[in-house]
Amino acid sequence: MRHDHIISAKQLSRADIEAVLDRAAEVAADPESFADRHENALLGLCFFEPSTRTKMSFTAAIKRLGGDVVDMGTVESSSVKKGESLADTVRVVEGYADALVLRHPSEGSAQMASEFVDVPLINAGDGAGQHPTQTLLDLYTIRESAGFDDLTIGIMGDLKYGRTVHSLAHALTNFDADQHFISPESLKLPRSVRYDLHEEGASIREHTELDPVLPELDVLYVTRIQAERFPDESEYRAIAGEYQIDTETLDAARDDLTVMHPLPRVDEIAHEIDDTDYAHYFQQAHNGVPVRMALLDLVLGGDE
C-alpha cells in the first residue's frame, strides 16, 4: 500500500481492508510498539471544510507514530482566500510533507488533487462523494462489535448526500452483508450508487420506515440529515427531524444490536441511548486513532 493515494472505498479490496483492520488491532493492543515508528514524518492537513473527529484523529495518529503535522489552517487564513487553486495548494503543501490529507466540499476534488502530487494523498471527504478512512474505522467497529459473518445492517438517514454512507455501502460489498437502506424518498441513495452496488453484486433493499426491518438488524448505522448539503433550505426543513430513534424505538431491536453514527449528531439519536449497550458511536469515533495510525503506517511504508 506504500505511496498509494486513498481516494475512494471502491479502490479497497477485501485484502486491503483486512490489512488495515488487522494492523489497527495490533495498534490498539500495543500502541507503544508503534511509537516513533515514523519519527520525523510530516502529515500535511488541507481542510477546506470544518472537521473535529477526522482532523484531530489524523493529528493524534501521526503524533502517536512519532511524526507531526503541517496544517494549512482555515480557508480564510490561507492563500485560498486570495484565489489560489486547489491544484496549486496541494502542490505547495506536498513540498512540506510526506503525505497529505484533504477535505474539500467538491465531489471529485480528491481525485483531481491526487493527479498533481507524488506523495500519498488521503481523501478525508469530498463533498457528497467518498470518505474512505471513515469507512475503515466503521468497518473496524463493526468487526469488533458484530463481526462480518452473515451481517445484516441498516443504514438510515441522509443516503443521498451522505459520503460516509456511499463509502461504507461500497466497502461492505467485500463481505457477506445484507444492506437495508432507510430514508425518506427525497434522500434515497443516488441512482449511480445503487447501480454500482448492483454491479458489485450487493444484496440491498430500500425502505422508508425502520420498524419493519429493525428486528433483523445486527447493526443500525444512523446518519445526520445534512443541512449544508441541501441546495434548497425549504427542502431540508421539510424532512429535518423525520428520522429519529430513542429507547422506545429500539424496543423491537435485538438485545445485541450495535447502533453507530459517524457524528456529529443533531437530534437523530436521543441522548438516552448513550448509556445503553446499543451505543457504539463514541467508541466508533475513538477507533479513528488506531485505524488512521494503521493506515498511515501502511501508506508510509511501515513494513519496510
Express each pLDDT in 164-186 by its tens digit: 999 999 999 999 999 999 998 88
Shared domain for 97 and 117, answered yes or no, is yes
The count of structural domains within the chain is 2
Annotated binding-site residues for carbamoyl phosphate read 53-54, 103, 131, 134, 263-264
Write the CA distances from 291 to 102, 138, 252, 256, integer angstroms.
17, 10, 32, 24
Which tens digits make up the pLDDT trace of 55-114? Answer: 999 999 999 999 999 999 777 756 676 678 999 999 999 999 999 999 999 999 999 999
Angstrom distance (rounded) from CA 44 to CA 48: 13
Please give the grid coordinates belonging to residue 100: 497529505
Instruction: Give every strand in the sheet of 121-126, ordered side by side.
Output: 68-71, 42-47, 99-104, 121-126
Least confident of 14-28, 179-193, 209-223: 179-193
Annotated binding-site residues for L-aspartate read 82, 163, 224
Q: How would residue 2 be classed by pLDDT, with cut points 50, 70 and 90?
A: very low
Annotated binding-site residues read 53-54, 82, 103, 131, 134, 163, 224, 263-264
Catalytic residue check, 103 = yes
Shared domain for 269 and 144, answered yes or no, is yes
Rg of the chain over CA atoms, in angstroms?
Answer: 19
Give the pLDDT score at 225: 81
Give the pLDDT score at 21: 98
Shared domain for 33 and 112, answered yes or no, is yes
Which tens digits make up the pLDDT trace of 25-64? Answer: 999 999 999 999 999 999 999 999 989 999 999 999 999 9
Q: What is the arithmetic mean of pLDDT over 221-237?
A: 74
Catalytic residue check, 54 = yes
Shared domain for 105 and 144, answered yes or no, is no
Shared domain for 108 and 77, answered yes or no, is yes
Task: Report the percent of the chain where pLDDT is more than 90.
Answer: 78
Smallest CA-to-CA distance from 142 within 51, 225, 247, 257 is with 257
Among 10, 53, 91, 265, the one annotated catalytic: 53
Shared domain for 180 and 191, answered yes or no, is yes
Which tens digits make up the pLDDT trace of 148-164? Answer: 999 999 999 989 888 89
Give the pLDDT score at 81: 63
Q: How would residue 237 be classed by pLDDT, with cut points 50, 70 and 90?
A: low
Catalytic residue check, 254 = no
Q: What is the arithmetic mean of pLDDT over 195-208?
A: 91
Look up the CATH number of the domain holding residue 271.
3.40.50.1370
Average pLDDT over the chain, rounded to whole?
91
Shared domain for 123 and 243, answered yes or no, is no
Among 131, 160, 261, 280, the one annotated catalytic: 131
Q: What is the arithmetic mean of pLDDT over 111-140?
A: 95
Is the pLDDT at 240 greater than 70, yes or no?
no
Shared domain for 89 and 210, answered yes or no, is no
Give the pLDDT score at 78: 66
Judged by DSSP in three states, 161 sits in coil
Shared domain for 114 and 10, answered yes or no, is yes
Shared domain for 152 and 92, answered yes or no, is no
Domain range holding 109? 5-130+288-300
156 and 210 Cβ atoms separated by less than 8 Å: yes
Shared domain for 149 and 281, answered yes or no, is yes
Q: How would residue 236 be classed by pLDDT, with cut points 50, 70 and 90?
A: low
Is the pLDDT at 229 greater than 70, yes or no?
no
Which tens digits make up the pLDDT trace of 122-131? Answer: 999 998 889 9
Ramachandran assignment for 231, one of left (phi > 0), alpha (psi -120 to 50 degrees), beta (any other): alpha
Catalytic residue check, 53 = yes
Shared domain for 173 and 235, answered yes or no, is yes
153 and 142 Cβ atoms separated by less than 8 Å: yes
